[in-house]
Amino acid sequence: MSYQPPSNPNDPTYTPTQPYTQYAPPPPQGYPPYQQPPKRKRRVWLWIVIIVALIVVYQIGHAAITEPTNSTPVATLAPATEQPTTPPTVAVLTNVDEIKAEIKNDANGVLTGDAIVSDYSEQESRAIILESTANKRPLSFVQDECFNMQKTIWQDPLLSVQSVDFAIAIIRNGAAVVYGECILNSSNAGKIDWGNTDAATAWNDKVYQDMTP
């Protein structure tokens, strides 16, 4: 026979049955029983690397800004002293036609008269220049024209002459009447300091071999 617990409350072995007052929550819907998805693994190491890199970059930039500027200045070299250059050697003209053309160019460049005629004597190595004016000019004009013409010929590196004959004339009835003249040869021309003299001084010091008036 099976055992039956006593149901009489007066029985000393009676134990009251405890009623169920709470019930377990129903299981989640679906079968098999619901399982929560696994949590994603956070890439913590990646953030650590990024943060460390940012800190390093900040420290380098901060050090560059706060670096002291009292460093020793670099000495600069003084510019090299320019050596004087030797002017190129100019070949002296030897062709007669070229010599005549150069003498004419020199005369046209410095004389101020009405007409100018020039020539060159190859036998005597003499430059000949004749300047004409409509009227007779004063002595100061003669001095200036003589000085400027002689100085230009003797300082021309293309010319190598032995003498320069310069004259000023007026034309009367088709003939030239000279009223001013100066002749200078190479020996006396080499003694003149052309840069430190003037027309009147050269004339008064009689640096020319022949002068008119």
Instruction: Break the chain into its structural domains and give their ranges.
Output: 96-212
169, 170, 173, 175 alpha-carbon torsion, rounded to 10°? 10
CA 157 to chain centre: 33
The Cα 11–Cα 4 span in angstroms is 13
- Contact residues for 127 (Cβ-Cβ < 8 A; gap 6+): 103, 118, 120, 153, 159, 161, 163, 164, 165
CATH 3.20.14 fits 96-212, yes or no: no
Residue 21 above 50 pLDDT? no
Q: pLDDT tens across 127-152, in order?
A: 999 999 999 999 999 999 999 999 99
Looking at residues 158-164, what average pLDDT do you find?
97
End-to-end alpha carbon distance in the chain: 185
Which tokens go with 125? 């190595």
Looking at residues 181-197, what average pLDDT do you find?
94
List the beta strands (DSSP E) in the chain: 115-121, 126-132, 163-172, 175-185, 210-212
Of residues 56 and 103, more confidence is placed in 103
Q: pLDDT tens across 37-86, in order?
A: 555 555 565 566 666 666 665 666 655 555 555 555 555 666 666 666 66
Q: What is the pLDDT of residue 74?
A: 57
Place 11 in a pLDDT band, splitting at 50, 70 and 90.
Answer: low
